[in-house]
Each structure stands twice: as C-alpha cells, then as structure tokens.
Structure 1
C-alpha cells in the first residue's frame, strides 16, 4: 500500500524492494561476513595510540589535518570492505570514536597551549619587551624554565647618594620620582632585548641572552647602559625645571656563564640567574664610585664589543675585588664620539698606566698630571695620580700592578 515505505541507509525504499533484495542476496549465495571483534579492538587501540602520539608530538594544526585525512581514509576503507569484499566492519564506530577522541584531545591541547601562553605572558610581560613575549608565546619551545647554564651579560645599576636624597624628600615624593626613574631605565633595557630581573630598592638588575638566545648580548647590554645615561640626562633636565633633585647612577656589566631558570618556591618563584659573573657585575658597579666613572665593564664584555667603534672603552685597572683571589681587568665604557680633548686625556692616561704597571711611578705621576691638565674632572686620572704618589713614597716589595679592594 501507500504506507509501505521504509528508511534505509541508502534512502527511502518500499517494503517489496527490501524483501526482493533480501531474496536476491539469499539466491546469489553472497555470504556477508562480519569483522572479528578482536580485529576491531586492535584497530581501536591503534587509533587511540596514534591520536595520543599526534597530540603529544606535533602541532595542533597538523593534528587537525591528520584527523581529516585519517577520517577520509576510514570512510574509503569501510566502503571498500562493505561493497567489494562483503565484510561488515565497525569502521563507522571507529570513525565516530576517532572524531570524539580527536576533538576532545584537540580541545585539551588548545587549553594547555592557552594556559602555557598565559603563563609565559604573566611571567615575562613585566620584564621584557612585547616583541620578546610574542616570540616566546609563538615558540614556547625556545623557553627553558629549568635551571641551565648559559653565557649571558649582566647589568647592575645604582643611584649614587640615594640615602641622602631620600632624607630630603617625603616618602610620596621619593616614590614618584623613583618610579619615573625606574620606568626610563627599564625601557632602556627592554628596548634592547634585555630582561629586567629585579629592582632592589633603587638598584636595577638586568640580563641579556635569556630567555631567548641573543648572540649580541654583550653589545646590547652596553648599548642599554649608554641609553640609560641618555635617558637619565633627559630626566634630570626635566626635574631641574620642576625643582626636583637630580639622580646620578653607576653601572656595572659583566659577561660569562651563569645558571638561569625559575628560582624560588612552588608558591612563589622568579626567572632569574645566579653565578660568579652576577656577583662580579655587582662588584664593579660599586667600583664606579671609586674611579668617578659612570660605567665599568669586565674583560669578557670588552672582548665582545671592542670592534664596535660606537662603543669606545678605556682600559682602567687590574683589580682584585673583595672575596676573590684572581685579578681581573676592568674597562670604562665611554660615550661616542670622543672629543679631541677626551682623546688627549685617554692618551696620557694609557701612557701613565703603562708606567704605573711597570713600577715607574715618577713617570706615571707626570702623565696623570698631563691628563688632568687636559680635563681636571677625569676621575680615573685623579685616582691613579694619588695611588702613584703614595706608591712612590712607600715602594711595594712585590709589585704586580694589581690593586686589591678590601671593601665592596
């Protein structure tokens, strides 16, 4: 009758046609087989393992493409086995399982990646430039959060006479001016691929070469130091118009192997560095006061930047800082271009240093005098003049040209 219509996998079909097809199947002797359950279970396990492997080993986009390809392949195999081999297989259920499993795992991976990017942003956006944060979130594999040894450049800066300044200002005034200063210093660091590790009162600690590898970390650290000086000059000019006290800073930079990574407790940690070079950078920052200079760098830093004409230096001294037994060279980082007057000072100073190291203190005194005639404000020449005069009066018995500092 008119109601003898039924739904089949291939569309609507009358009951008569369905029975006719059934009789035809019996008469033709076609034996429709069913895939063994064990084989179906094996395929289920293989698909599950494959999906998990894809999720763990490859990127999300590749997993999506792979899912589409494998799904299409499952449909083709199912159609072939059903129509050509007359074997009923559970490919439809495997296909459904694959879709559900892939979708679930893709969602989990998306959540994991989103959390990872959020973790990176929260951990670094306050310390490095936005471009570095973007690079880390796009390529988190470049970030090693566990402790690892790496060659970096470290910078310490400190405000001279900060205690005296703080005594002349109210806490609110001091905080406002200090925040303005730290803002400018941080920008100078982050604009040149540096990471602001921490603020220690009025001091700034920063490093280059992590979390992203930076082959020019020494150069970038020195450029940042000079940029800090320029930014401070601008601040002091503005503060002078506002009737505020000026700041003067000292900077120390060292380059070498340190351990970098997350440090702290499970509840509170910080991406930071430890190592001898960190201590040395802090030590030579303190020595800027002794020599009357703005920025000192270590030997390794100097070797990395000595071929850059826009980063002139002066070999300053061979020193043994407090707590160390090996002497190390230190250099003054200067501002380019050098004036003719500055070149005269440097020439006399270098000659005086040669006499000083050789133990000819009388000749050294003359050269340091000449340097001060060219620039009476040159701190290093004044320091070496006083040393040479003292050594001339009290000749050392085993002179090696190394000056040992007893205090930090």
Structure 2
C-alpha cells in the first residue's frame, strides 16, 4: 500500500520503518505509536531525501527531545567551524539540529549538514531568502519565497519553521496592543516587515495550501513558527501571542487534512507562574499537536547565563506537557555561540528535558536516576561516569582533586556518609582519623 507521509501511513495502518524505529527507541507499542501519529499528537520528522537520519518522534508519551541551533551568519561565516559544532552536537546525542544560516553559501552548508546528520534537521526558509536571491526583503515575490521552501525540502530538510500565523489580522492585534519588546522572532519580524512594506497578506498564510503541497511531497513536518512569542516576561501571554496561537490551531487542522505533520512553536520569555497555563493553552488551541518551546526563559536579567534561565523554564514546560526544547546557550542575546557555549546549552537543555520526563513518567527516565543512585551507594565511580549526562566533565572534576581514600571525594574524605553507612551496615568499624585496619 502506498503512502505520502508518516501521518498518511499511520492513518492507513502501515508500519513504516521510521515508526518501527521510534517505537523501539521509546519502548512503546507500535500500534499505540501509529494511533498517536495518525491523530497528530506525535510527529516523526523524516524527509524522504534525508537518508542518514535516525528517526525520532516528538510528542505525547515520548521522551522530551532537544534541538541545537547553529549556522553561518555575515559576521561569523566559517562553514568548518559550524560543521565542527555539528559533529559535537551529534556526539552529545542532540535529537535535532536547526540550520539558521542567513548569509553566504547556505546551500553548501545545509547539504553537508544533512548528509552527515543522523539527527533530524530543521531550517527557517525566510532566513535564507534574502541571501539566496541577494535582494532586499521587500522586493521578494510570493513565488520566490515559496521556491526557497521547495529548495530546502529538495535538500532533505525534515522540519521547517514557517511563520504563517503572523497574518494581517494578527498584525493588527499586535499594533493595537503595544508590547515592551515588540516582535523578537527574527522570522516573525521579517514577515511582519514584508507585509507592512508591501501592503499585502503574509504569503505563507495566503498560500498555505502551496506550502502544504511541498511538505506533503517530501514529507516535511511544518513547525508553525511563533512570530509573536514574548521576548520579555512583560509580554508573555498577551493578546498578540494568543491571537497567533489560535491561528496556528486553525492551520494545524488544515495541514492534518493533507496528512502533513505539524509541530507548534512556543515561548519565549515567561515568568514561572505562567508556564503551566501556556502549555495547557497550546494543547487546547492546537488540538494536542506537539509543542516546541524556546526556553522559556524565566527572567530577563541574566545575559551570559541564559542557558540556566532557559533550563529552569524548560524543565517546568516539559513537566507540564512541552514535547521539544530548543536549547539556549550562555551567548543568547550577546553573540553567535562558540563550541563551548553550544556544549553548555546542550547539557542544560538535556537536564531540563530529562527532569520533565521524570515528572511525566516517561518510560526509562526514573530508572536512569535509580541506576546512578545505586552506583553512588556502592561508590562505583566508573559506573557513575558511564551513567553521567556528561561523563567527560564528571571524570575531569574527580581527577582534578584526588582524595586520600580513593572510595571518597575531597569534599568529605573519610567523613563520607555513603562510605560510613556502608561500613556500619556491614558490621565494620569506622576509622575517620587514622588509616583503616
């Protein structure tokens, strides 16, 4: 039986190799997974032309996934540096990489990235359009903008951020309801500017069926972009954000009718007390489509530490229903992240995702922690390193400060509670001030 997309296959009861792989990774019954894909509650972004991919599922009942952003810009346009980041991101088991390149030889980099990546690849075509045509934004035609989407699909991109929710109606709501930080989404600002400069409707909204034609042909998952995501905690959960979210819900249904998979993008900057409600709003208004969030960053005053502000919000978001976390690095709001920034951002996001999975009761999440706790009780350092989220750093920290007693660490030495409890429970004496007999 033939099928066009993973959603089409699931609706027809066809177990694709991608569905089979994801079911095995997630320890989920394959029929249950097919039901979720058919209903749009899980997406499996896997372009037919991305041959090196190891498919992952995003959505209900699955592990929370993380995404790494990278790519070349006018100020930092070294392809080799970005490819080195790709290798490290894959080694660190990031499930997705978004190429946000906006200058120079974007297709050369994108093609190399797709060919080498086992992770799913995302892009934002509007970022690429100005550089691709080497013309100013206002002069780009509808056809040219749609052609960039098709070019990315042909290259093998698995999911694309399409800012279709910032239509003229949403833009009017934004203009009537002033914000502290206006529109901070790069793609959202570009689409808003294109509409204002041309006096026309957002082409991705007006010609959404043509976008769906492309996505259905290549099985590209649409990541419906949140142009009106809050860029400060003051703007969270405001009229613009909610108006756009309602529009994204309508577009989601249209995509599903064409068997095109959907993810919804979300905030942004948001205080802790608003996060849980926002996760509920997305699931309600967007019909339980997978939710992909940037952060949320829970305070605006920590530049240089926004991987931490993001991880705090990301953990609560994941625990409350978010399915996919976009990493944030210490360089957020300051500059293009370097390799070390990227590593810190990945670890922070992985911690947030895993903390959310424990709260959601995802299979295997708590067992990992229990295995670490047992290794700690047994003072099995090699086992602890093997279970650590960042084994290299854990091993390095221990090597940098060697204890007198190899079973302890230099924090407590022979006063180590674990060591002493093990000895007492085994009927042994505790020698804290002298060598063991």
For the aligned pair, the TM-score class normalised by the smaller chain equals under 0.3
More relative contact order in 1 or in 2 (CA 8 Å, sep 6+)?
Answer: 2
TM-score (normalised: structure 2): 0.23
**Rg: which structure is higher?**
1
TM-score (normalised: structure 1): 0.24
